[in-house]
Amino acid sequence: MALLSFLGAIQQVTGSCYLVESRDGAKVLLECGMRQGRREDEEGNRGAFAFDPLSLDAVVVSHAHIDHTGLLPKLVSAGYRGPVFATNATCELMELMLLDAANIQEKDTEWENKWRARLGKAPIDPLYTTEDAEQTLKQRRPQKYDQPCEVAPGVQVTFHDAGHILGSAIVEMQVQDHHLTRRLVFSGDLGNSCSPLMRKATTLDQADVILMESTYGDRDHRSSSETIEELAEILQQAHRDGGNVLIPAFAVGRTQDLIYHLGRFYQEGRLPQQAVFLDSPMAIRANAIYSHFPHLFNAADQATIAANHIKRIEDWLPVLRCTPTPEESMAINRIKSGAVIIAGSGMCTGGRIAHHFKHNLWRSDCHVVFPGFQARGTPGRAIVEGASTVKMLHQRIAVKAQVHTLGGFSAHAGQSQLLDWVSHFDHHPELYLVHGELEKMQILQQVLRERLNWIANIPEPGEQIAL
Ligand SMILES: [Zn+2]
């Protein structure tokens, strides 16, 4: 039997990593994600890999988010020189994500080494460098959707659209093991069918083993039309209050959704703010990549794009002002009212949003809108949970602004969508829940048993199963 090891995103939502080993000797790493959130989780990124990086034949990644790709440069720094398979769009987005991650690693280490020196402690090395990220990019092997490719002897992979972010994929892996072929389907991150631009997640019906994400295994999102209305109302209220609106957003995926929705409000005369700032160099570059792949959008949005001669994502929203340089970003600090500011990072762990918080979070006339998931231990989660102050940029800032969480903009499938996706498989293959917090998985496990009469497994970190 081939073996599957559960190495990461087990009973948690970040650090996606699985290892497939066939008896014939093929060894394929599925995902090489970074752990994010709590400090102890992030410390976990520093540990040695649970396998010998030089023994791998190939790496396959489902999509470009850092919790699925972020340790690739570390793998390369440990000597891996083999191929990294992903879809075409994922390969383009990876360039953006990995170079940014390397830059953050280098900057954070430089900062940390300054205070370590003052304490008389030895300096530490960054997790990886820009050079490692650049080398990783050379190892990419871009693939089209729905076309099987052999990634290692006897291991064939097909990427199917997962509808989560541009280029995101469900990974179907066929493993030849002596005379037996076993089919593993990894859901990757499944999209929310209400997400703009994206297509619906592909449904499959054949598998021997399924790994399914369960980020929102415990509940359904609010309906997207309600969420869109809620956002429109927040913008009206913020206009009446006279303050700014801050939206911490992931550069890839969420930002493009927001531009789309704000563009709709603008067209309908429902956007009272005069300016929307996209204060994220990374999101600005992500927009350009999205604009390269309009053929991957859903049919309805492709038709709108063609009818309105839209060439770039920015064209959806005429009042959008991109501020790539630090000078342009700092100039936003002078604006006290009437602005919508979209900036990273999505969970407020750093980036330009921290500076905008410094100028706006303590003001009761300002509004903060969280359109995405906030992992445990992040400043974003603290604010959502009602903290009266948060530490940011090495100082405490009072949370006086009005805080809103928009449930319906998630780029992840809600519980019903997960059930619907998995219900297409014939004969209830072995099912493992991954990429979710334990309590949420347990609720999904119960619902699977009650509604589909299907017993799902929750693996333990490091657990191995026969494939
Ligand atoms: Zn993702």
Q: Determine the distance separating the centroid of ligand 1 and the alpha carbon of 63, expressed in angstroms.
A: 7
237 and 196: one domain?
Answer: no
Rg (CA), the chain: 22
**Same-domain status, 61 and 29:** yes
CA atoms of 150 and 148, how far apart (whole Å): 7
Range of the structural domain that residue 237 is part of = 224-409
Q: Do 173 and 243 fall within a single domain?
A: no
Q: Are residues 372 and 293 in the same domain?
A: yes
Q: How far is the CA of 66 from the centre of ligand 1 (A)?
A: 8
Return the residue matching tokens 């170079």: 99
Distance (angstroms) between ligand 1 centre and the Cα of 363 equals 32
Query: Do 50 and 139 share a structural domain?
Result: yes
Res. 409 pLDDT band, cuts 50 70 90 = confident
Residue whose pair of structure tokens reads 């989780």 in the numeric block: 41
**One-character DSSP codes across 143-198:** E-TT--EEEETTEEEEEEE-SSSTT-EEEEEEEEETTEEEEEEE--SPPPTT-SSP
Q: What's the pLDDT tens digit per position in 445-458?
A: 999 999 999 999 99
Separation of CA 336 and ligand 1 centre (Å): 34
Q: Could you tell me the distance, in angstroms and rounded to a whole number, from the CA of residue 333 to the centre of ligand 1?
A: 31
- Helix residue ranges per DSSP H, 222-374: 224-241, 254-267, 281-292, 299-307, 326-331, 352-360
Query: What integer pLDDT is reported at residue 41 of this predicted model?
Result: 76
| 8 A C-beta contact, residue 298 and residue 199 | yes
How many whole angstroms from 169 Cα to the centroid of ligand 1? 10
- Per-residue pLDDT, averaged over 197-215, amounts to 97
In the chain, pLDDT over 70 holds for what percent of residues? 100
| Region 241-255 average pLDDT | 93
Q: What distance in angstroms lies between residue 286's CA and the mean position of ligand 1's atoms?
A: 15
CA of 311 to the centre of ligand 1 (A): 26
* 58 & 187 share domain: yes
143 and 191 both lie in a single domain: yes
Q: Would you tell me how many other CB atoms lie within 10 Å of the CB of residue 179?
A: 5
In the predicted model, is pLDDT for residue 39 greater than 80?
A: no
CATH code (residue 248): 3.40.50.10890
Predicted pLDDT of residue 373:
77
Same domain, residue pair 164 and 297: no
Is the CB of residue 258 less than 8 Å from the CB of residue 249? yes
Picking from 7-16, 99-108, 357-366, 406-415, which range would have the lowest pLDDT averaged per residue? 406-415
The one-letter amino acid code at 392 reads M
Chosen domain end from 386, 409, 432:
409
Of 409, 425, 443, the one marking the end of a domain is: 409
CATH number, domain containing residue 78: 3.60.15.10
Distance in Å, CA 302 to ligand 1 centroid: 23
Distance 268 CA to ligand 1 centre (A): 31
What are the tens digits of pLDDT across the range 252-300?
989 999 999 999 999 999 999 989 999 999 999 999 999 999 999 999 9
Claim to verify: residue 309 and residue 452 sit in the same structural domain: no
Poorest-pLDDT segment among 199-203, 342-346, 347-351, 458-462:
347-351
The mean pLDDT of 381-395, rounded to a whole number, is 93
62 Cα to the center of ligand 1, angstroms? 9
Give me ligand 1 centre to Cα 68, in Å. Answer: 7
Is residue 140 very low, low, confident or very high in pLDDT (cuts 50, 70, 90)? very high
Whether residues 236 and 378 share a domain: the answer is yes
> Could you tell me the distance, in angstroms and rounded to a whole number, from the CA of residue 354 to the centre of ligand 1?
22
Which residue, among 182, 267, 242, 216, has the nearest Cα to 436 in the 3D structure? 216
Q: How far is the CA of 64 from the centre of ligand 1 (A)?
A: 7
Shared domain check, 209 and 85: yes
Q: Could you tell me if 73 and 96 lie in one domain?
A: yes
67: CA distance to ligand 1 center in Å?
7
When pLDDT is cut at 50, 70 and 90, the band that residue 352 belongs to is very high
Going from the Cα of 254 to the center of ligand 1, the distance in angstroms, rounded, reads 10
pLDDT score, position 135: 98
- Residue in the block written with tokens 């974003």: 380
Last residue of a domain, one of 409, 437, 456: 409
Handedness of CA 236, 237, 238, 241 (dihedral sign): positive
For the chain, what is the domain count? 2
